[in-house]
Structure 1
C-alpha cells in the first residue's frame, strides 16, 4: 500500500521533472552533442493534438507550417524553439507549437536554426531573421505576424525584433515569451535564490551554455545576444510567462522592469510552483492555463476574433 500512497503524492510537475532528469542522467562528458539532440527530440516526440503539418525550406532554413482547421490565411505566428542554442528542433517542440497554434486558431511557422557549437552567435539570429523575411515574402503584413518562443527561443524573439528595429524593418504585431533566457551573463539574483527550487538549471550549466553559444571570446553583454542589455524601447507588446521555481526567473522579471522603464508594453506572468518552460508538459494543468492565456494575447494582437478551448 505504501507504493499506492507514494503515487498519490506525485504531482504532474514531479512527473515532468522525472522525465527531464531521465534524459540528463543518460548524458556524460563523453556523450556527443549529436546524441544529445537525438535524445531530446525522441523524449518530446509526438503530438497531443492532431494537426496538418507541411514542411518547407527557405534560403537554407528548414521548417514546417502547422495549420489548424479554419485558421485565417492572412495571419501567422513565427515560433522559435528553445534548447540553450545547443539542442532543440522542430521535432522536439512540435507538440508545444501545435498546442499554441490550436489554442490561437492561427497558422504557425516553426523552423530549425543553426545550433552551437558548430554555429555560434549570430548564426541562430540570422536564421530567425530569414524566417521572418520568408513570412513577409509570402505576402503577410508585419501587423499580421506575431512571434512566440521559449527559453533560448525567447531570446531570439527579442533579438529578431531588436535587429529588425535597428535595421529599419517593420516589426511584428506582438511577442509571447515563455521562460526567456535574456541574460547570458547570468547576473540575476534568482540564480542563487531559486537554486534549490530549480530541479535542473543551475548557474554553472547556464554559463557553460552561454560560452558554447558565444565562443571563448564572446561578450555575454552583447545586446543582440543578451537582450536584457539592449535598448528595449519601440518594441511591440510583449507577454512573458515564467515559473517561480526557475533560476532564470529574474531574466524575465528584470526584462519586464527594463521594458516598462523604456516605455514599453509588457505583461509579466509569474506562475507559482512552475519549472522552466512548464508549458511543454501537457499533463500539467497550469500548462494548459498558460497556453490559453498566451493564445488569448496572440489572438488579441493578431485580431483573430474567435476563441478556442485548448486541448
Structure 2
C-alpha cells in the first residue's frame, strides 16, 4: 500500500463517528447511558423498535410519494398539505397510535402553546425558569398530539413551565421565517421583564435548527442570550453530510431516511444554501453561545450532527455536552420509558446547574 493510500484510509477512519466519539468521551464531553434489563427484555425492545421503524419508514415514504405527485398542481398540493397538517395535529394521521393522557388538558397542563395569552409578567415576578420549546415536524408540520404529550411529561419532570412555540411553516413560509418567529418571541419575553438567566431554549429534531438559527440572530442583534439550550435528537446539518445519514438510512436502526430528510430540507430552504450556518448550525461559529445539552441515541439518523456540534463547541469555547443512549428508538423521549425518565432527569440537573436566580 502506498503512503497516499494509507493517508487516505487514515483520513476516512478518523472521520467515522467511533474514534471521534471516543475523544469526546475522554474529554468528558460525551457520556453513554445504558438501561440495564434482561436479555429477553432487551431483545424484545429491539425487535419492537425495528418493526416500528419499518412501519414508520413505509408510511413516510408513501406520503412522500403522494406529495410528489401533487407537486405540479398548486391547488391539489395546498389541499394535500392542509389535510396532512390537520390530521397530524389531531392525531388522525399519526404513523403509530398514541394515547393522549386524560390529565393532559388546558386546565392542568404544565405547558402552554405560544399562541395562548402570555403571562410573562408573572414569570418575571416569580423569577422561575421558562422554557421555550420548538417541536420538530420537518419544518412543515405543527406539533402532533404525541409531541404535546411528550412536552407535558417534560414539563412535569423538570418542574418548569414550558411554552410550546408556534412558528410559521414551510413551504409557504420558508427559511428564515421559523427562527425569526422564535427570536421575536424570545425578545418579547425580555421586553416584558423576563431575565435571560431564567429562560432556556429547547427543541427536538428539526426544531434544533430553528432554535440555533434564532440564537445566532439574537447574537447579531447583541441581545442577551438564554441561560442554556437543550436539544433532543437534534437535526443540525441540512446538507446531510454525516456518516449516520448513510448508515441509518440503509439499516433498520432509524425510521427516517435521507429521502425524507432531503425532501423536508428542500421545502424549508428553497433557494438558501444547505450549508448556511443559520439553517445548518454545524457550520456556525459557536463562540459566545450558552451551554448546550444534547440527548440522542446512537442509532439516530442525526447522531453525527450531535458529535459535530460537540467537536465545534470544544474548538470554539462553547460548552456542548452529549448524553447518548443505546436505545433503538429515534427521539427516545417521545415515548414514556425508563430511558426517557433518565433523560429528563439529566435535563433537570442541567437546568439547575445553569439557572441563575436573582432579583427580577
Interval of TM-score (by shorter of Structure 1 and Structure 2) = 0.7 to 0.9
Tell me the equivalent position of 2:21. Answer: none
Of 31, 35, 60, which residue of structure 2 is paired with 1:24? 60
SS at match of 1:177: strand
CA gap of 1:298–1:7, structure 2 versus 1, over 3 A, is: closer
Tell me the equivalent position of 2:254. Answer: 199
Tell me the equivalent position of 1:35. Answer: 83
Matched, 1:180 2:227: no
| 1:23–1:39 CA contact under 8 A, matched in 2 | no
Structure 2 unaligned segments of length 5 or more: list them: 1-39, 68-79, 120-125
CA gap of 1:27–1:161, structure 2 versus 1, over 3 A, is: same
Matched, 1:292 2:339: no
Alpha-carbon distance in structure 2 between the residues aligned to 1:98 and 1:252: 25
Of 126, 129, 138, which residue of structure 1 is paired with 2:183? 129
CA gap of 1:223–1:63, structure 2 versus 1, over 3 A, is: farther
| 1:64–1:111 CA contact under 8 A, matched in 2 | no
Higher share of residues assigned strand: 1
Aligned residues: 291
The alpha-carbon deviation at position 89 of structure 1 amounts to: 2.0
The alpha-carbon deviation at position 128 of structure 1 amounts to: 0.7
Tell me the equivalent position of 1:3. Answer: none
Of 209, 219, 224, which residue of structure 2 is paired with 1:170? 224
Please tell me whether Structure 1 or Structure 2 has the larger radius of gyration of its CA atoms: 2
SS at match of 2:209: helix
Structure 1 unaligned segments of length 5 or more: list them: 1-5, 67-71, 305-311
Alpha-carbon distance in structure 2 between the residues aligned to 1:275 and 1:134: 36
Matched, 1:138 2:195: no
- When structure 1 is superposed on structure 2, of 161-170 and 270-279 the one drifting more is 270-279
SS at match of 2:65: coil
Q: What's the TM-score, normalizing by structure 1?
A: 0.83
Of 143, 147, 157, which residue of structure 1 is paired with 2:211? 157
- What does 1:201-280 align with in structure 2 at a 5 Å threshold? 201-215=256-270, 217-280=271-334
Matched, 1:52 2:126: no
Alpha-carbon distance in structure 2 between the residues aligned to 1:8 and 1:178: 23
Alpha-carbon distance in structure 2 between the residues aligned to 1:7 and 1:255: 33
> What is the CA RMSD across the aligned residues, in angstroms?
3.1
| 2:110–2:152 CA contact under 8 A, matched in 1 | no
1:197-226 CA-partner distances (Å, limit 9, x unpaired): 4332111221121111011x2201111011
The alpha-carbon deviation at position 53 of structure 1 amounts to: 5.8
- What does 1:81-120 align with in structure 2 at a 5 Å threshold? 81-89=135-143, 91-120=145-174
1:90-118 CA-partner distances (Å, limit 9, x unpaired): 75521121112111111111121111111
SS at match of 1:232: coil
SS at match of 2:317: coil
1:165-212 CA-partner distances (Å, limit 9, x unpaired): 121010000000011111111100111233314332111221121111
The alpha-carbon deviation at position 14 of structure 1 amounts to: 5.1
SS at match of 1:30: helix
Alpha-carbon distance in structure 2 between the residues aligned to 1:46 and 1:134: 31
Tell me the equivalent position of 2:20. Answer: none
SS at match of 1:191: helix
The alpha-carbon deviation at position 143 of structure 1 amounts to: 0.8
CA gap of 1:214–1:14, structure 2 versus 1, over 3 A, is: same
Q: What's the TM-score, normalizing by structure 2?
A: 0.72
Higher share of residues assigned helix: 2
| 2:203–2:231 CA contact under 8 A, matched in 1 | yes
| 2:61–2:260 CA contact under 8 A, matched in 1 | no
- When structure 1 is superposed on structure 2, of 31-40 and 248-257 the one drifting more is 31-40
Alpha-carbon distance in structure 2 between the residues aligned to 1:193 and 1:56: 36
Tell me the equivalent position of 2:37. Answer: none
